[in-house]
Every structure is written in C-alpha cells, then in structure tokens.
Chains A and B, each alone.
Chain A
Amino acid sequence: MIRGDRIFGAVMIVLALGYILTASRIGTSFMSDPVGPRVFPYMVAGVVILCSVSMILRPDPEAEWPAGPMLLQLGIAFAALIGYAFAIKPLGFILPTTFVAGILSWQIGGHPARAAISGVGLGIGLFVLFRVILGLGLRGLPAGWGF
C-alpha cells in the first residue's frame, strides 16, 4: 500500500542526500570557526532523513487526493500563476491581473460570465487601490501604451 506519506518521505530522503552532497562541496575560506559552514546543514539533513524514515515506516491514514479533472484544474491554476509571474513585468498590471483573476474566479465559482466580470473588476479595482490610493510603483499597461 503506497501512501502519500511514504512518497513524501522517499522524496525527502533523496532531497536530503542531495543536500548533504551539496553541503560537502561548500568552499572554505581563510575565515573559519570550529564548526564551519557544513555541520549545521548536515544536522538538518540528518533530522529530515530520520523523520522521512519514520513517515515511511509509520504513515498516517491516506488523505483524499484530487483525481483526474480536479488535478487538471489545479494544474491550470498553477500554470496561470506561473504565467502571471512572467507576464506582470512586460505586460503591466491590468491585463495579466484581469486574465488570471478571471481564470481563478471561474475555477472557484464555475460561472464564466461572473468570473469575467470579477476579473475585470479586480484588474482595474486593485490597480486603482495600489497605484492611485497606496502609491505603489506599478505599471498599468504594457510598456509604450502610456500609464
């Protein structure tokens, strides 16, 4: 029986071993102290491995994981957020925000029309709030479009 806990534990063991390997390559400099820059990372990785082993040997009851369509939905949300992180700089605030807020709204509420309205509302409303009222340095529209 494979459970989420076991998978997480196994992944963490691999990560911890990679962490130890990386830590062992930390360079030394002329400034040094009895402990050095590597010991604490080793200790941390050791704790992770111990805990991972415990999670693999004694996993808790399995959580309900999203399946099929829901996983796709979460994937869409993830992709939208990643896209937003890249888009906000070149495209300004309003367009990406309208688009991504609309997608998220549609995913949570399920009504395309309402989602479109809340996307546009949030895109413009938050811009007014942050730029005009709070005075943060945001650019509204793509470079060269004014604002």
Chain B
Amino acid sequence: MEILSNLAMGFSIAATPYTLLLAVIGCFVGTIIGALPGLGPANGVALLIPISFSMGLDAIPALVLLTSVYYGAMYGGRISSILLNIPGDEPAMMTTLDGYPMAKQGKAGEALVVSGVASFVGAFIATIGLMVFAPYLARVAFKFGPAEYFALYLLAFCTLGGIGSNNQAKAAMAAAIGLGIAMIGLDKTTGMPRFTFGELHLQDGVDFLVAIVGLFAVAEVFFFIETHGKNSAIGVKLGKILVPWRMLKQTTGAMLRGTGIGFVAGVLPGAGASLGSFLAYTAEKSAARDKSQFGKGDPRGVAAPEAGNNAAAGGALVPMLTLGVPGSGTTAVLLALLLTLNITPGPLLFTERPEVVWSLIAALLIANIVLLLMNVPMVKVFVHILSVPAWVLLPGVTMVAFVGIYSLTGSSFDMLMMVGFGVLGYIMRKLEIPTVPVILGILLGNAMEDNLRRAMVLSDGDWTFLFSSPIATGLWIAAVLGFVAPVFLRRFLKKPPMPETEPKVGD
C-alpha cells in the first residue's frame, strides 16, 4: 500500500494549522471567484499567483492556497449558473440548463445542495483517481525522450485548439502567437538575444504571469465596460437551505456517471472541464429513461454536469503533474504557478520531490471537505456576495491585477505589457480566437523548441527521428486526429441552445 504511506506523508506536511488556514481562505476566495460572473478559475488563480509570490509564501503553502482557490472556483461556478442563469465560469455553462429552471420553480436551495454534493463527489473521486493513475503515468513518462515530448506538446496544442474552438485556423493561430511570444528573450542554447529589439526588459522574455493576467483579467474589464455590467442582478429568491435527501439519493447515479466521464475528459490533454461537463450532461440525458424534464429543472441535469466538471478539474491535474502538459486553461495557470515556484512538473517530480506531489494531493482532499462544508450549509454567504455590483467588483479586480504585477516586477514596462495583452485579449475574444492556446504557447514554447533541438542533436539533424519511436508516432497520429476530427464531429456534438434569460409568457 505505497499510496497510503505516501498519502500519510502528504498529510503530515499539508495538515499543519497554518496550511489548513490557507486552505480555508483559498476555498472561500475561490468560491467567490467562481461564483462571480466573468471571473473564472483561470482568472482567479492568475490574479493570486503574483500576490502570493510577493507575500513570500513557501512552495507548499502557496500550492495549497492556490489549488484550494482552483477547486473553490470550480465549486463556485454553479452558484451564479443556478441563481442568475449566467455561468460563473465556462465549465458551469451546462449547469444553467437545469439549474436555472429549478431556481425559477422555487427549488434554488435544492439545486444548490445537489450541485454542491455533486461537485464534492466529482472532485473527491477524481482526486483519488489522480492518486492512483498519476504515479502509473509518471512511470510511462520516463520512457519519453525529446522527440516524444515535442510530439506531446504538439498534441496538447492540437487537441486544445481542435476541441476548444470552432475554427481550427484560429486555434492554431492562437497557439502560434503564444509560441512566437515565448521566443522573445535570450536563446538558451546559444545565449543570443532574440526579438528583444535592444530592450533590456525583454532579455528575460515575456513573463507568462503578465500575459495571463492581461489576457484574462484586463480583457474582462473592457468587456464589462462595453456591456455596462448588465448581467449582474439576482432575480431569484433563496429560501431556507434544507438537505433534500431524497433528491440526493435519486441523483447518485447521475453523479457517479458524470464523475467517470468527467475524469476521462479531464485526463485527455487539451480537453478540460468544459468538455467534461458537456459530455456528462449529454450522456446523462441520453441514458435517462424519462427525458421530458431535462432542460426544465431535472435535478439529474444539475448533478451530472457539476460532477463532470469537477472530476475533469481533478483529471486535468494528471497530465499536468506527470508530463508537464496542462489539460485546460486553468491547469495551464497552475503550471505557471509551479514554474514560478521553481517546481518542474514531469515524471521526475514524483521520484525527486514526492513531498510536493503528495502534499498537493492531501491539500486537494482537505480542500474538498472544506468546500463541501462551505458550499452546502454556508452557501447563503456566497449568495450575498453575488450581489456586489459590477461597478465595484471590476475596478477592484483590475487594481488587484496591477498590484500583483507591480509588486512582482516593480516595473512600469510589465504593467504596460499587461494592458497590451488586455487589448489583445479583447480583440481575440471579439474575433472568437481562443486565448488559452496563447497562454499554453508562452508556457510551453521554450520547452517545445528545446526538445526539438535536443532531438536534432541526438539524431544529428535527421528530421525523421521525430517519428522514429512507436510512442512518438502514436502521439503524432493522435495530434493530427485531435486537430482534424472535431471538424467532422462538430456536426454531431452540437451544443444544446442556452435557455432564454427572460422568462417566457406562460412559463
């Protein structure tokens, strides 16, 4: 029982009163971030990385704090989905389909409890899955050489772009923009400056935190100014919260199925939580004998996608920790966190720094229990926070973004670059070009080039070396399929239309 002894070690590091306090704070902040429309998990973690870094937190406390925020945001996303019919973050979109109708029928409390428990089931089981599968995958990952890693990075870009976007060209463009930005700075092998235009600030390259905060948080401000923060008023009354045991029993199957589907979707590189919740909802709907209530307030339609999206969040940590390849936007941000803390994910992480891995897992388990307590009995607290108006919230978020970057780097140049990324993010979102591949490109660009060059050193410039091993060939085929297949599958996997925000007459 190697897992249990490892886990015990993890708990002995992560379960100190100080880190527990950080976990509670992280869960609380995370749930708020998730619940507020427009502030997703990726956004929230990105804003908090520079701040926790300038506070001088050690690696493990910082990891505990920010993974709690990550899971908290996954839980919190459902709150505004159910009460406002606005997903707090993208993966919570499917929860609006049945959650909001339930709330309109006066069952908002039940919907919040069922979805909270479903989130717990999904996230908890996925964390156990992470414990079981990650060490196994780490052992496989030891066989990876530079050629395999190059193909793997390509696979991540292809699947992320292929699944996450409606236009392959735009997804590939986004990834290439990110890779192009990653090239800025000193070339590691030759020590020559590239694309710095004599600017000293660019010698170290573009800090990925600047790019992340700009693309996510600053771009959001421009969007809110354009919409005048229309989308933020609670229209649903919330009564006393009671635990609907019968409803929970009735939805157990949906939660477990959603968890399984979500976990698998999360492990696939590039797929992420949105796909997890989408597949979980679709599968639950097609498996149900009585479909008539779906979309009109069926509790199973709340339980399945919530379990799915939280399980996918856990599953996405598997490739991120073992291979260093994030499965979604938020795990890309978590990868940024690890790199900031000087922790390089990959198979070596499991053998060389097991304390990091296992205390992270212990922290996730702790965070889930804290979150269950916060999100079921105390959910009303968060409902009150949702009524903070956008005209206080968004300026606040912007200022937090600036403070984070300023206290991290202390230079006006980086803040200007952050605003520049904000404009870029605004334009890209207007054009429906996904921004997550840009982040992934900036994060992985140097490693991708490095592996390509090392592969060429090994083979003495023979390009066929990239396809020479069976693993590499398999990854190349998967990459091509992951990029091309969604074009054909899109016809079958049409997303269901969002329910109308305005209640119709006679509803």
Contacts and interface: CB of A to CB of B under 8 A. Distances in A.
Contacts of B258: none
A122 B394 CA distance: 11
B395 A41 contact: no
A119 interface: yes
Interface in B409-462: 412, 415-416, 418-419, 422-423, 426-427, 430-433, 448-449, 452-453, 456-457, 460-461
B449 A105 contact: no
Interface stretch (B131-139, B221-229, B362-370): B221-229
B291 interface: no
Contacts of B183: 23, 40-41, 44
Interface string A52-80: 10110010100101100010011001100
A122 B175 CA distance: 36
Nearest to A118: B392
Contact of A74 (B225, B396, B403): B225
B170 A84 contact: no
Interface residues of A, number: 72
Contacts of B452: 35, 40
Contacts of A78: 222, 419, 423
B406 A88 contact: yes
B389 to A, nearest CB: 7
A88 B413 CA distance: 12
A22 B199 CA distance: 14
A85 B402 contact: yes
Contacts of B197: 22
B293 interface: no
A126 B190 contact: no
A130 B396 CA distance: 12
Given A48-B180, A60-B167, A63-B432, A101 B399 contact: yes
B8 interface: no
B192 A28 contact: yes
B194 interface: yes
A37 B173 contact: no
Contacts of B448: 40
Contacts of B430: 4, 63, 65
Range, interface on chain B: 35 or more
Contact of A29 (B190, B194, B418, B456): B190
Given A48-B180, A51-B170, A81-B218, A74 B226 contact: yes
B5 interface: no
Interface string A81-116: 110111011000100010011101111111100110
Contacts of A60: 166-167, 170, 431-432
Contacts of A107: 225
Contacts of B226: 66, 70, 73-74
A81 B398 contact: yes
A37 B190 contact: yes
Given A22-B195, A77-B225, A84 B460 contact: no
Contacts of B423: 78
Main secondary structure of the interface of A (DSSP, over half): helix
A122 B456 contact: no
B406 A31 contact: no
B250 interface: no
B415 A126 contact: no
A12 B191 contact: no
A1 interface: no
Contacts of B427: 8
A136 B54 contact: yes
Contacts of A88: 402, 406, 412, 415
Contacts of B12: none
Interface in B173-224: 173, 175-177, 179-180, 183, 187, 189-195, 197, 218, 221-222, 224
B391 interface: yes
B400 interface: yes
Contacts of A73: 225-226
Contacts of A119: 395
B203 to A, nearest CB: 14
- The residue among A54, A78, A135 with the most chain B CB atoms within 10 A of its own CB is A78
Contact of B222 (A22, A31, A74, A85): A74
A4 to B, nearest CB: 5
Contacts of A52: 173
Nearest to B169: A54
A102 B396 CA distance: 10
Contacts of A31: 189-191
Given A26-B194, A86-B412, A101-B395, A51 B419 contact: no
Nearest to B403: A130
Interface string A11-42: 01000000100110011110111111100110
B419 A126 contact: no
A66 B223 CA distance: 10
A143 interface: no
Contacts of A84: 402, 415
24 contacts: A4-B431, A8-B433, A19-B195, A22-B197, A23-B195, A31-B189, A36-B190, A40-B183, A44-B183, A60-B170, A74-B222, A74-B225, A88-B406, A101-B396, A101-B398, A104-B394, A105-B394, A108-B225, A111-B391, A118-B391, A130-B51, A137-B54, A138-B403, A138-B407
Given A35-B456, A51-B170, 5 more contacts: A44-B180, A51-B173, A101-B399, A108-B390, A109-B391
Interface of A: 4-5, 8, 12, 19, 22-23, 26-29, 31-37, 40-41, 44-45, 47-48, 50-52, 54-55, 58, 60, 63, 65-66, 70, 73-74, 77-78, 81-82, 84-86, 88-89, 93, 97, 100-102, 104-111, 114-115, 118-119, 121-122, 126, 130, 134-138
